Amino acid sequence: MPRMAITVDGVKYEEEVEPRLLLVHLLRERLGKTGTPVGCDTSNCGACTVMLDGKSVKSCSVLAVQADGCDVVTIEGLGANGSMHPMQQAFHEEHALQCGYCTPGMVMAAIDLLRDNPDPSEDAIREGLEGNLCRCTGYCNIVRAVRRGAQEMGQAVRTS
């Protein structure tokens, strides 16, 4: 079995994995990172979105071996010192989640879309989230949360 190294939420792991093991199953079942859920098998829903070397990916559509040597950040690795990341906080403030199942992926996709566009328009937000399905919110409050999160993150950058 291939041996691989991976850093997840700041912790280094070395694992022997079957080639077919999906990254999301490595995270959930080997490393106990159950914060990242699985919602489909065709990469449509985006619930499993994580950051792989700083970019959003759908961890159900990446083999663990493809992530050998990479750095992964999951929803569990956001925030610091017990406080939530500004985007997580913004989702809370704007009631941008109901059942919460799409939320980890939605938050990761939201953070990713700000990499290129720190002050996105409503249309840009909607486009940036097109790979993440939510069945509860109708997206209205998610869009508002991403706007708020972007503003908060912009503030954070300016004041740091």
Partner 1 sequence: MIPAQFDYVRAGSLGEAVQELAADEDAKVLAGGQSLLPLLRLRLAYPSKLVDVGRLPELTGVHDRGDHVFIGAMATHDEVLRSGVVNADCPLVAQATATVADPAVRHRGTFGGSLAHCDPAGDLPAVVLALEGVFVARSAEGEREIPAAEFFVDYLESALGPGEVLVGVRLPKLGAGWGYHYEKFHRTAQSWATVGVAAAVKRSNGAIEEARIGLTNMGPTPVRARVVETALRGMQMGDDVRRACEEAAAGTSPPSDLHAQPDYRRHLARVLTHRAILHAAGSP
Partner 2 sequence: MTEVGKARKRKEDRRLLTGHTQWTDNLRQPGMLHVMFLRSPMAHARITRVDVSAARDLPGVVAAFGGQDFAAEQGSLPCAWPVSEDIVIPDHPPMAVSEVRYVGEAVACVVATDHYLAADALEAIEVDYEPLPAVLDMNEALAPDSPKVHEAGNQAYTVKITSGDVEAAFRDAPVVIDRTYIQQRLIPSAMEPRAVLAGTDGDSFTLWSSTQIPHVLRVMLAVVTGIPEHKIRVIAPDVGGGFGSKLQVTAEEVLCLLLTKRLGKPVKWTESRSEGNLTVHHGRDQIQHLRLAAEADGRIRGLQVELLADMGAYLMLVTPGIPMLGASMFNAIYKMDAYEFGCTGVFTTKMPTDAYRGAGRPEATYGIERVMDELAAELRLDPLEVRRRNWIKHDEFPYTTISGLTYDSGNYEAATDKAMALFGYDKLRAEQADRRDRGDPVQLGIGVSTFTEMCGLAPSRMLGAANYGAGGWEHGSVRMLPTGKVEVITGTSPHGQGHATAWSQITADALGVPFEDITVLHGDTAIAHKGMDTYGSRSLTVGGIAVLKACDKVKDKARKLASHLLECAPDDLEFAEGVFKVKGTDSQKTIQELAYAAFTAHDLPEGVEAGLDSDATFDPENYSFPHGTHLCAVEVDTETGMAKIRSYVAVDDVGAVVNPLIVEGQIHGGIAQGVAQALYEEAVYDSEGNLLTTTMADYLLPTAMDLPDFVTDRTETPATSNPLGAKGVGEAGTIASTPAVVNAIVDALRPRGIHDIQMPCTPERIWRALR
Could you list the residues that contact partner 2 (CB under 8 A)?
18, 20-21, 28, 33-42, 44-45, 47, 74-76, 78-79, 84, 88, 91-93, 95, 97-104, 107, 122, 125-127, 129-143
Q: Which does 49 bind (CB under 5 to 8 A by kind): partner 2, partner 1, none?
A: partner 1
Contacts of residue 114, Cβ cutoff 8 Å, sequence gap at least 6: 120, 146, 149, 150, 153
Are 48 and 35 in contact, with CB atoms under 8 Å apart? no
User: In Å, how far are 14, 51, 60 from 105, measured between CA atoms?
Assistant: 25, 10, 12
Q: Tell me whether residue 81 or residue 123 sits nearer to partner 1 (CB atom).
A: 123
- Identity of the residue numbered 127: E
Q: Tell me whether residue 6 or residue 50 sits nearer to partner 2 (CB atom).
A: 50
| Footprint (CB under 8 A) of partner 1, residues 46-105 | 46, 49, 52, 55-58, 60-63, 65-66, 68
